[in-house]
Amino acid sequence: MGFFDKITDVSKGANDKMRNMSEASNLKRKILYEEERIVEIFADIGKKYYKNPDEDPKVFRLLCEDVDQRRRRIKRMRFELNQIHGRKICAKCDAAVNEKFQFCGSCGARLPDPEDEDFTSLESNDYYTESSGNFFDADSQKVY
């Protein structure tokens, strides 16, 4: 391998890293946007209910479906973001595991795969917004 071949390889590696950084930045921005929209939708639900508690339940159902769609998008984008970093996050114990593995080394659970039928299923009714650092359970009155 000649000197110029080594320079070419180094420049390709740097170019790939820059592309990955750009993709990661775009994904983080998109995740933040979706999280902000979810918070806005929750506020809309509260305002609609406050103004008219007898509102047609279909209105609330549509807003809730919008939230769930955005949560699924966030889940997929977080998976892509972790792929860029070469890892998967265990859904059971939150351990970071090398993307080559199919099972978690900490707890033994099967790691998420976007090809799985239930990949976009939502585990619970809990929400975490990275932008605000807030975790809240939509089923309770507590704010953590």
- CB burial class (10 A; 0-12, 13-18, 19+) of residue 143? exposed
pTM, entire model: 0.69
At 93-142, the pLDDT tens digits run: 888 899 899 899 999 988 887 777 666 676 654 555 555 555 444 444 43
Residue 144 lies in a domain: no
Instruction: Identify the pLDDT of residue 44.
Output: 95
Q: What residues contact 123, with CB distance under 8 A and at least 6 apart?
A: 91
Residue 17 lies in a domain: yes
Residue 61 lies in a domain: yes
Distance from the Cα of residue 73 to its chain's centroid: 7
CA distance 13 to 7: 10
Residue 84 lies in a domain: yes
Measuring CA to CA, which residue among 36, 33, 111, 30 is closest to residue 78?
A: 30
Residue 132 lies in a domain: yes
Instruction: Identify the pLDDT of residue 133.
Output: 52
Residue 142 lies in a domain: no
At 52-70, the pLDDT tens digits run: 999 999 999 999 999 999 9
Strand partners, 134: 129
The whole domain housing 122 covers 3-137
Q: What residues contact 36, with CB distance under 8 A and at least 6 apart?
A: 129, 131
Instruction: Identify the pLDDT of residue 58.
Output: 92
Domains of the chain: total: 1
Residue 45 lies in a domain: yes
